[in-house]
Structure 1
Amino acid sequence: MPMAMMVNNSSYGCKLPREIIEEIVLRLDAKSVTRFKCVSKSWLSRISDPSFMSCHHKRQVPRTLLGLQFLDDVLGINEDCGMLCSFRSSENFHEISSKVFPIYKLRRENMAMAFVGSHYGVICWVDKIHNCVYLWNPTIEKHKKLPPSPYTPSEPGSFSPLLTLYGFGYEPLTNDFKVVAACGGKDTETRKCSNFFQTCEQVSLYSLNSNSWKTMVMPDLFSSDQDYDSTMLRIFPINGTASVVVSGSIHWPITIVRPQLRQENLVKVYSDGVVAFDLSSEQFKLINPPSSLNNEVFYVRSIYNLCGCLSLLTSPSYLLSCIEIWVMKKYGVSNSWTKHISLDLVDRSLPSSPRNTFQPLGVLHNGNLLLESRYRGTLAFYDPRSDSGRLQNVCPWEQVFYFATYAESIFLS
């Protein structure tokens, strides 16, 4: 029913209270809600109110968002390839809708888009070739190109000795989307990105409210450990992992390389952890992994927001088919880490064959594991509650580059 009829439907002898009308509108999909902005100035003002937008977002059904690569002959797009966002049911994984990032439709030159993160219905992308950051609400098909970061070359293809790691999140107290850009360098031995999150490194912060960047100084997060010289640390972001927002903070998984003296020899000791950035206080902090893992050699494969809690997916270095999921029950309290799942994928009742070996792609918001075959186009679910799995075929030309939990919103409208 059109909003005007709902507000004052005298011809049918009824007039719904404004509270009931708003309750109905909050349950509608994002596209329908944005159309109601045309009803009147009062409804435009109400729907544009941050509290209304936030309430609407919280009432939307969480979906699973997959980033898939496609070829131009599949969708009839002129680029050689692009990124398709596929929105799927978290229960049966059926596709609900799909969207192509609109910049792909406008450009013909090469692009190297990387997924930064998703929060409050908005997705953050970075084009590494053209040094551009974008915010995109795929539901209402609105996007915004951000101005260049202070530490990023403004000209496409310009050489820069700095490498940038991005994070993205929404701060509800100020109704502001923020993007963090932390600069690092390249390790001369491994040729990987390193030296992130160390003292005096260059950090910039974008605010959508002001549509501008400001510079910050990175604090020394590792100064409390006196067993080594913190200036000799090497910090590597874990490849292929997007930032995750939990309890109002952006999080990145990292690998820390500490030089230690053993029997008069300097050796490298590897350990994993998490760096967080509080969106409200705009302060960085270090989150340590579960203390029970300190005596083991393990990998943090990825991080998640599981039912509002920070979660780690880890594996021992000697057996990657064995995985554990750790959940921080009380945010920021190290002794609140609890082991949620421990299993060996080889021994579980997964829809596998001698040719299909599944590795964890991520943890869905309902606690199920999403697994990916080493052969493209095949995914599987594993439900730890029933200890069972099921196969889910994806189109054979597609390759999963990232996944996230997504719920519709009307932000950026």
Structure 2
Amino acid sequence: MASNTSDVFLYNPTTGESKRIPDVPEYLRSSSSVTWSWFSYGFGFDPLTNDYKVVKFNVDNDNYVYSLKKDSWRRICNIPCRRVYSRTSVELNGAIHWISLISGGESPKVVTAFDLNTEKLRHMPLPDLTEECDHIYGGYTVGTVKGRLCVVSWCFEMHDVIWVMNEYGVGSSWSKIRIGVSYCQVMIPLCSTRNDEEVFLLINKDLVLYYFERNTWRSVKIRGVESGKLQHANTYVESLISPNSYGLQR
């Protein structure tokens, strides 16, 4: 999430190259654009079109998708989300996932999935998080565990549960995993190891490696980052593709 004065860059950590994403052109913006104060971005790769895409969600249903291959923005209409609820997003099964607020309904908070190929949005129900905590202050984050979509809730009380969607897209398949490390405020599952026996977790600005079978964990230090100073982390697939010449490589 960023203010409307922020620049956005695509960055390849392998090559060190970056590309500034152009602003949404004036002719695409609606009249409500002048009232924007906060918005959220998502990023992912569409293997069917071999294209990298950036999605920009704003208040008042002003939403846009940027194609790196075409180096242009397109407006997305008819997405029934009042706002993106969480700052975190995760790409899985060819879609970018957030926690969102929708208009109406008994459960206004849902998992939203933006399909990078069809550029359509679908909603998936959250698990019954009140079973774990009914604290009115707090939020939710999405992540992946063992290649599956997961959700965690946070507030200023201690938690030790990760909710995992065992069958993608099926709301009744949510189940909870109780882990041997407690957290408050923010915990984000980042990725599992190749054998799915461990998972990297970002817990309260520190990186942790959790071992499922042994129910133990250890802190992971990152060179140049002080303990308790890690604001955000994500995973990426190494590539030699240049973000500045990608559209010319077709």
In structure 2, the gaps of 5 or more residues are: 28-32, 244-250
Q: Distance in 1 between matches of 2:26 and 2:168?
A: 32
Question: What TM-score do you get using the length of structure 1 for normalisation?
Answer: 0.47
Gap runs ≥5 in structure 1: 1-113, 115-125, 153-158, 185-194, 196-200, 222-233, 260-268, 349-356
2:227 is aligned with 1:400: no
* 2:141–2:151 contact (8 Å) kept in structure 1: yes
Tell which structure's C-alpha radius of gyration is larger: 1
Distance, in Å, in 2 between the alignment partners of 1:142 and 1:175 is 19
**Aligned match of 1:310:** 149
Deviation of the 1:379 alpha carbon: 4.9
Equivalent in the alignment of 2:201? 370
Match runs of 1:339-378 below 5 Å = 339=176, 341-343=177-179, 345=181, 360-366=187-193, 367-368=198-199, 370=201, 372=203
Is the 2:145–2:199 contact (alpha carbons within 8 Å) kept by the matching residues of 1? no
After superposition, the Cα gap between the structure-2 partners of 1:295 and 1:150, relative to the gap in structure 1 and judged at 3 Å, is farther
Q: Please give the secondary structure, in 2, of the residue aligned with 1:281.
A: coil
Tell me by how many angstroms 1:382 deviates: 3.3
Distance (whole Å) between structure 2 residues aligned to residue 138 and residue 245 of structure 1? 18
Distance 1:183 1:129, change over 3 A: closer
Please give the root-mean-square deviation of Cα atoms over the aligned residues, in Å.
3.6
Q: Which residue of 2 aligns with 1:338?
A: 175
Superposition deviation, residue 345 in structure 1: 4.1
Summarize the alignment of residues 229-240 of structure 1 with structure 2, pairs less than 5 Å apart.
235=83, 237-238=85-86
Q: Name the SS of the counterpart of 1:219 in structure 2.
A: coil
Q: Secondary structure at the residue paired with 1:335?
A: helix
Q: In structure 2, what is the Cα distance between the partners aligned to 1:383 and 1:216?
A: 41
Instruction: Name the CA shift for 1:379/1:280 in 2 (closer, same or farther; >3 Å).
Output: closer
- Measured at CA, do residues 236 and 167 of structure 1 come closer, stay the same or move farther in structure 2, by a change above 3 Å? closer
Q: 1:220 to 1:242 in 2, by over 3 A?
A: closer
Pair 209,411 (structure 1): closer, same or farther in 2 beyond 3 Å: same
**Alpha-carbon spacing, 1:255–1:321, altered in 2? closer, same or farther (3 Å):** farther
Q: Is residue 253–residue 274 contact of structure 1 (8 Å, CA) maintained in 2? A: yes
Query: How far did 1:204 drift?
Result: 1.4
Matches within 5 A, 1:194-343: 201-220=61-80, 235=83, 237-238=85-86, 241-255=87-101, 272-290=109-127, 292-293=128-129, 297=134, 301-315=140-154, 320-339=157-176, 341-343=177-179
Report what 1:385 is aligned to.
213
Query: Does structure 1 conserve the Cα–Cα contact (< 8 Å) formed by 2:180 and 2:216?
Result: no
Change (3 A) 1:320 1:381: farther
2:248 alignment partner in structure 1: none
Identity between Structure 1 and Structure 2 (%):
28
CA displacement at 1:314 relative to structure 2: 2.8
Once residues 104 and 180 of structure 2 are traced to their aligned partners in structure 1, the CA distance between those partners, rounded to angstroms, is: 30
Q: What is the 5 A alignment of 1:118-267?
A: 128=3, 130-150=5-25, 160-162=34-36, 163-184=38-59, 201-220=61-80, 235=83, 237-238=85-86, 241-255=87-101
1:79 is aligned to: none
Alignment size in residue pairs: 230
How far apart are the structure 1 equivalents of 2:202 and 2:5? Answer: 33
**1:409 and 2:245 are equivalent in the alignment:** no
Cα-to-partner distance string for 1:130-165 (whole Å, 9 max, x where unaligned): 44221110111121112211369xxxxxx9411322
Distance 1:361 1:314 in 2: 10
Letter in 2 for 1:133: V
Q: CA deviation at 1:337?
A: 1.9
Counterpart CA distance in 1 for 2:99 and 2:68 is: 25
Contact 1:321-1:344 within 8 A present in 2 as well? no
Shift of 1:323: 2.9
